[in-house]
């Protein structure tokens, strides 16, 4: 019985660490634009984005679908040349739709 308690205690310590390991490092969303963003931060669909000359990024998933987030950024900052949501990179067709060309 004591061995079972030790195993449970060990699992309790390991489980939270493995949950953190599953989250991607860095921002959840990232976008690159045809022209450098003119703003350093903005709100799109109730979500904070931080921008620099390389593009914009946002830390955590939003309630909106990635395509909606992409379209919101396009309306505010212009043509997007690359967009990532989590581990998903938009392909050419998704980017065209995001930019209003598809």
pLDDT at 73 > cutoff 60: yes
Mean pLDDT score of the chain: 82
Residue 65 is given by DSSP the state: -
The reported pTM is 0.73
d(CA 2, CA 93): 58
Domain ranges of the chain: 24-98
β-pair partners for 96: none
Q: State the alpha helices, DSSP H only, in the chain.
A: 2-21, 66-77, 92-98
**Structure confidence at residue 94 (pLDDT):** 97
Between residues 75 and 12, the one the model is more confident about: 75
d(CA 2, CA 12): 15
β-pair partners for 84: 30, 89
- Mean pLDDT score, 35-62: 91
- Mean pLDDT score, 22-43: 86
Q: 15: which 2 tokens?
A: 């489980």
Indicate the pLDDT class of residue 46, thresholds 50, 70 and 90. Answer: confident
């Amino acid at each position: 019985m004591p061995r079972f308690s030790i195993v449970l205690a060990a699992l309790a310590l390991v489980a939270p660490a493995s949950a953190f390991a599953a989250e991607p490092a860095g921002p959840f969303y990232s976008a690159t634009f045809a022209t450098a963003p003119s703003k350093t931060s903005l709100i799109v669909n109730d979500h904070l984005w931080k921008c620099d000359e390389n593009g914009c990024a946002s830390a955590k998933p939003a309630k909106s679908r990635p395509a909606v987030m992409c379209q919101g950024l396009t309306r505010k900052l212009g043509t997007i040349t690359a967009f990532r949501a989590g581990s998903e990179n938009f392909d050419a067709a998704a980017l065209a739709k995001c930019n209003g060309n598809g």
